[in-house]
Structure 1
């Protein structure tokens, strides 16, 4: 397994369970500062931590997969083609949004799809 940076997903998992960093760090057997570094993509998610997360919270290891980020970036590029062409949004901005704030990216993607459907309806 290569280095996996999954800070946004790790933070989302912690927040969904209404845990502090200190609480999650204790459950995982790591220091709060180490967890903080993983949540901010300064350190990769390690295999032992991934195993403890899957065992403790019953999440599939795929939850932390970068494939989801790649798919999200592709969908954002498709939905925001005009904005990219007009240089209002860069492809690197979309990649950063998808990796750091996937929930916000999903909302933006949904809004783009609704906008496209409304435009087609009006035409």
Structure 2
């Protein structure tokens, strides 16, 4: 079984619940330093901690899945295809962004898609064959 590093998701869950690291550590029966290491991807999310998280917060274990990160990376590549080539952003940079800052990655996907739609509308408006 592969190790699951889900620091950004764990931190987001804690922040969404308005908890400090010490409060979440108490809830999970782990030390605050161990929680801090998991939030910073220095330690993987263990099965016992995952089970306690699902019990305490009612989250689906899939919330911590890396499949979501893979989908987000693919969405980033698609939505930002032109910008990525010009900026020389590496695939590992995209994966790191999606894993560590998924909320920011979702905003970039949305902005990239809006940019693509706007560019299409401008191209349609500028096309003399398309106007009546």
Please, what TM-score do these two structures have when normalized by structure 2? Answer: 0.90
| Number of aligned residues | 123
Q: 1:96 maps to which residue?
A: 96
* C-alpha separation in 1, matches of 2:117 and 2:48: 45
Shifted more, 80-89 versus 93-102: the winner is 80-89
Q: 1:107 maps to which residue?
A: 107
Unaligned runs of 5+ in 1: none
Q: 1:11 maps to which residue?
A: 11
Unaligned runs of 5+ in 2: 124-132
SS in 1 for 2:25: helix
Greater C-alpha Rg: 2
> How far off its partner does 1:87 sit?
4.1
SS in 2 for 1:71: helix
| Structure-to-structure mapping, 1:1-123, within 5 angstroms | 1-123=1-123
SS in 1 for 2:59: coil
> How far off its partner does 1:2 sit?
1.9
* C-alpha separation in 1, matches of 2:90 and 2:80: 10
Instruction: Verify the 8 A CA contact 1:84 1:91 in the aligned structure 2.
Output: no
Instruction: Verify the 8 A CA contact 1:5 1:38 in the aligned structure 2.
Output: yes
TM superposition outliers: structure 1 runs of 4+ over 3 Å: none
Please, what TM-score do these two structures have when normalized by structure 1? Answer: 0.96
